[in-house]
Structure 1
Amino acid sequence: MARLFLLQEICLRVMGHSPNTGKDTRSGKGVFSFSHIISLLFVISAEYPMISYIMYHNDDMELITATLSVVFTNLLTAIKIITFLVYKQDFWQMMQTFRQMHQQSVQTMGKQDGYVTEANNLAARLGKAYCISCAFTGLYFFLGPIVKIIISKMRGTIYIRELPMNMKFPFNDVDSPGYEMAFVYTVFVTIVVVTYASAVDGLFISFAINLRAHFQALQQDIRNVDFMKAEKKVQSELISAVDYHVHLLNLSTILRFIYMPIVFAQFLITSLQVGVIIYQIVTHMSSIMALLVYFSFFGSIMLQLFIYCYGGEIIKVESLQVSVAVQISKWHLANPKQRRFLAFIMLRSQKEMLIKAGFYEASLANFLSICRTALSFITLIQSIE
């Protein structure tokens, strides 16, 4: 259990946040630390050389589409950084809330501990695996040119220097020392992008899995209510269940609120990236190495989208299952007053808790819809070719 909270805390601290910083960030009055501003400026500044590269090669569709996929990724990360800046205290408070809920569950005879412990172990493993995969993706970008330079020197061949990303700077970025300066700049941008993307996305999936576990614990509490016990004891358990349910719904609402800009941007930008990368895949069918690169990048952006869709799906499903738990409980043994408590829980759980932004809903159905769209793009581009 401690592994998850430690991972979450590391994510927040890596992004420059500490428990003592920030104010009432929901009103947009958070404290913007120097490290946050530098990170945001780094990411935004990278848009200029990439757009300059696109303008310089405006007659080469392959180079344009290859650069656009990175431009979109960079833009998405900028949105994640800005969202974190605005709601950074809410991120920390939500993590602390889940920690307190776990401690309370342990103190009350471990009533919820089975579900919560198992879920948090899963969240810790997924979060760690996702961070590692993002790190390897970033490592691939800036190690590729270095490996090519080393191989060309070993073979004694002439190699035109390349940057980790397609960029054109307002100075000579091919010869020394301009190339080295541009390379170091690109490496720092990549590190910031990978750090923020993996941290913000990892926090979301850990929060979502936590909520699922607590919804499952609530369902178990409702199913296990023994209406044959003393009326006061039963009433106390039902009041506790109602409060627990309201608390989980409030947490779900906060999660949806702080991630709304990110969910909207994730769906919109991923949809654009899919079209760009599919074009690259279709036009490089004869090159195995190029296909490996583009499929790897395609898998990376789809994994980001899947995290949000999977998190939204499990929250939606488990919030609806609370109503089912009431229906299969021994409600027929309850007196009219106790049934009112159950009816209140059913009423609140009739409407699923959705993680959505605008017309985008984070669900597996929408994730599959984008996958089908990608396949349609392949067919369309091949027919045009």
Structure 2
Amino acid sequence: MYEYLRIQQFSFRVIGINLWAQRDQRIASAPCRYYSWTVATAIITLLMGFYIYTSEQDKAIQVLTVFLQGVLSVIKSGMFVAKGRRFIKLIRSLDMLAAEANVKEGKEWKHENDWQQRIARVYYSCCMSTGTLYCAVPAIILLYSWCFNGHAIFILPFDAAFPFNTAHPFFYTVSYIWCISFIIYAVHAIAAMDSLFCWFIFNISAHFRALQRAVETVGAAMSGAEDYASLHGRITRTLHYHRRIIELSAEFDELYAPIVFIEISVSYLKLCFSAYNLINLGDISGLPVIAVGLVTITFQLCIYCFSGEKIKNVSEAVSDRIYLAFPWERVPPSVRRLLLLPLMRAQRATNLTGFLFIVDHSLLVWIFKTTGSIIGFLSATKSENTNS
């Protein structure tokens, strides 16, 4: 289990959280570093909020994406710390279930976890690229203006209502370091929680695929067997395995439902504002930051929506495997009655919810469709303000 959580564990430790202690497997943290970093992030997020409130539309929207990222980072990391013991318990339960079912050596398990690692690496690279560009572009502009124009242009990664004059070199340095601290916290908090979410999804999916293989194996054994009573124990163990997967999936959905709701709602707004900033870009130096940020936000939404669709499809496929795997014309009535309950249970899809919606492909399509409407509304509002 632990080899699949290296990126998540590293990201959690950066912001002052240990995913688990070495001995007792409980949530542990470095209180001073985590809470001080969280407070600093929350304060600069509030300062961005004051700046947004007092600025015109275009300047406010330029900062809104970063502001929402700060809100999302603080809330998601806080939820994880509050529910840390339940997260650790769910991780251990999934690992123990895999050990009991002896599925870790199967190709389905390895395939799913290999894909999870690839997606986590790519997503972490996107987040780090966005954060690096936010930090590097102002420094490049400062060095260029100082070397070639003879005077320094002090530009911060993002604007906020700082209580001091950021045009002064000392206060600019303080503000710049504060902004970098905010970006590091936001990048690692989001990357950790989202890649951990991806780990849960792919491991639950691996369990469902291992269950399908187990059903096929039992069905094949039943096709050539004459004593069906000897297969009763194998069928019972397979049905128990199915029930445990559904229980852990329900626990996962309960844990992540508030996080998914906040994630989808905030990321949807971030997508709208980033696309608006890209369309109304005034300074070409901001193009790399906005473009890479837009790709990262889209990737973030795709991870959640495709994961919800993946869980739904793989859980529904179990009923088809049960129906097709067994020779029903030869199965005695007692075994048919035994298989009736999992067949009915598997026809009810395991959905990933966000309280008010189900997370799947249709939600992603709706987000992309309504993004254009929001951008049109913001553009119309800008035109009215300009004309007036």
TM over 0.5: yes
Q: Distance in 2 between matches of 1:341 and 1:46?
A: 59
For the Cα contact (< 8 Å) 1:21–1:31, is it kept in 2? Answer: no
Tell me if 1:304 matches 2:300. Answer: yes
Q: Distance in 1 between matches of 2:358 and 2:19?
A: 31
SS in 2 for 1:165: coil
Q: 1:341 corresponds to which letter in structure 2? A: L
Distance 1:47 1:99, change over 3 A: same
Bigger shift: residues 206-215 or 290-299: 290-299
Counterparts of 1:121-140 in structure 2 under 5 Å?
121-140=114-133
Q: CA deviation at 1:296?
A: 2.3
2:41 maps to 43
Q: CA deviation at 1:67?
A: 0.9
For the Cα contact (< 8 Å) 1:215–1:248, is it kept in 2? Answer: yes
Q: Distance in 2 between matches of 1:249 and 1:345?
A: 11
Deviations 1:294-335 (A, max 9, x none): 332222212111111111111111111111111111241322
SS in 2 for 1:224: helix
Q: Distance in 2 between matches of 1:64 and 1:111?
A: 50
Tell me if 1:196 matches 2:197. Answer: no
Q: Distance in 2 between matches of 1:7 and 1:134?
A: 12
For the Cα contact (< 8 Å) 2:17–2:28, is it kept in 1? Answer: no
SS in 1 for 2:83: helix
Deviations 1:239-259 (A, max 9, x none): 111111111111111111111
Q: 1:172 corresponds to which letter in structure 2? A: N
Q: CA deviation at 1:53?
A: 2.0
Q: CA deviation at 1:213?
A: 1.5
**1:94 aligned residue (82, 90, 93):** 90
1:283 maps to 280
Deviations 1:68-105 (A, max 9, x none): 11111111111211110111122223333333344445
1:238 maps to 235
Deviations 1:128-165 (A, max 9, x none): 22112211111111111111111112212434311112
Bigger shift: residues 142-151 or 83-92: 83-92
Q: 1:144 corresponds to which letter in structure 2? A: V
Tell me if 1:16 matches 2:21. Answer: no
Q: Percent identity?
A: 22
**1:368 aligned residue (365, 373, 382):** 365
Deviations 1:270-298 (A, max 9, x none): 232233223323323x7655444333222
Counterparts of 1:1-385 in structure 2 under 5 Å?
3-14=3-14, 15-20=16-21, 33-56=31-54, 58=55, 60-105=56-101, 108=102, 113-225=106-218, 226-227=221-222, 228-229=224-225, 230-284=227-281, 289-332=285-328, 333-378=330-375, 385=383
Deviations 1:150-196 (A, max 9, x none): 11122124343111121221112221321111111111111111111
Q: Distance in 2 between matches of 1:20 and 1:317?
A: 35
Q: Distance in 1 between matches of 2:23 and 2:269?
A: 34
Bigger shift: residues 309-318 or 289-298: 289-298
SS in 1 for 2:202: helix
Q: CA deviation at 1:120?
A: 0.6
Q: 1:301 corresponds to which letter in structure 2? A: I
Distance 1:38 1:339, change over 3 A: farther
> Which 5+ residue runs of structure 2 have no aligned equivalent?
384-388
Q: 1:138 corresponds to which letter in structure 2? A: G
Bigger shift: residues 75-84 or 296-305: 296-305
> Which 5+ residue runs of structure 1 have no aligned equivalent?
none
Q: Distance in 2 between matches of 1:118 and 1:130?
A: 18
How well do the aligned residues superpose, as a CA RMSD in angstroms?
A: 2.8
Q: CA deviation at 1:32?
A: 8.9
Deviations 1:12-44 (A, max 9, x none): 54451253499999xxx9989444323332221
Aligned pair count?
Answer: 376
Q: Distance in 2 between matches of 1:125 and 1:104?
A: 27
Structure 1 runs (4+) greater than 6 angstroms displaced? 21-25, 29-32
For the Cα contact (< 8 Å) 1:149–1:161, is it kept in 2? Answer: yes
For the Cα contact (< 8 Å) 2:98–2:104, is it kept in 1? Answer: no
Q: 1:317 corresponds to which letter in structure 2? A: N
For the Cα contact (< 8 Å) 2:116–2:202, is it kept in 1? Answer: yes
Q: CA deviation at 1:64?
A: 0.7
Structure 1-normalised TM-score? 0.88
